[in-house]
A and B are shown apart, each in its own frame.
Chain A
Amino acid sequence: MALIKTQTHQPIAHDERKQARDCNSLLLELENDNPMARRWAARDLADCPAASAALVSRLQLEDDVSVREVILTTLTVMGNEVAVVGLVNCLRSEKVALRNEAIEAMKQLPDEVAPIMRGLLADADPDVRIFAVNILESLRHPEVESWLISVIDHDPELNVCATAVDLLGEVGSSASREPLLRLKARYTQVPYIQFATDLALKRISDG
């Protein structure tokens, strides 16, 4: 027994994927009991745009994080309307992990998410609005600051504004100054808002 080199140099063309890889059989595989089979199916379904609806509904049920991750990657690659709507629906899920995974996936889709961002930031559910601000954190889009300003000027929910202020400390320019001062004046009784707006204002004026 010793250190040995790989005995065989076969380029492994046939791996675990036994099933014929057409879209229909992949959809069936998505329900397989074996998470490994579901992972491979979710990955290969990237070439089947019509499968986005099935992936979205599987995502809601899927308990295995490794399968969910692949489904989210595939949906991100697809980036079609069904995929994006599916991701938005995850934000309303009771499952915290799924919500946060969806937020991370949506950060990767600036072009697809930008058109619906105003809608998300105006959603009736304050939690969804907080998640929308979370998405802005890494969204490569020129309007991020103006969206955040509109949040702190208009959102009635304290915690939505608080989340936006955190990000403005990083991305805010002098355009954010007045809105931050207005927010600060609106919540004089809330120590956290006083702290957060002061911090953001300091970073903006120094910057």
Chain B
Amino acid sequence: MAELLSGDELPEVMVVPEEAPLELPPDWQPPSVEHLETEFVENDDLGARRDLRIQIARMEGELGELFGSAFPRMGIEFGVAAPGGPRVLSVDELERVRDSLAARLQDVRGELHDRTQVEECYRERLEHLVAEPGAHRWVRISNEDIGEPGCRHWHSRPRWGPLGLLLNWWRVKVSSGCPLAMGRG
């Protein structure tokens, strides 16, 4: 096509046209502020701090919900370092608190997710254990394994001791719970 330029006709480097120096008239004055439709504002630290406080409040609420749902699981770290006070924190300090809370939330969610997956596996295994004790000999599953409070556990054991062991009579024995704090008497 004749209208199209061929490759060798195109310049390899784009040439920037030389700009003429800016010449201002000698009587030029910058426009006064009144005529500009621009609003001059001071650095809005107060607004930033309020926004950060709202974020912190929301995250603290989420962390509280996770704390409640994590019970009775032990060993999950919920602590978030604080810069010290009581005082009015700067934007930087509030950001650090916000970021620490966000990181802690992520850690706790991950930890809870991992644990609930393991607990789900234990629950499935418990169902099979109760259905077929003989297929899960000597297996012992506790409340802690399935994420429940209390000391109860399920134990697959032979009925009548050695006799059940020889005759393959298995059953699930459920413990009666936590020992009494003050003993029986």
* A, B assembled together: no
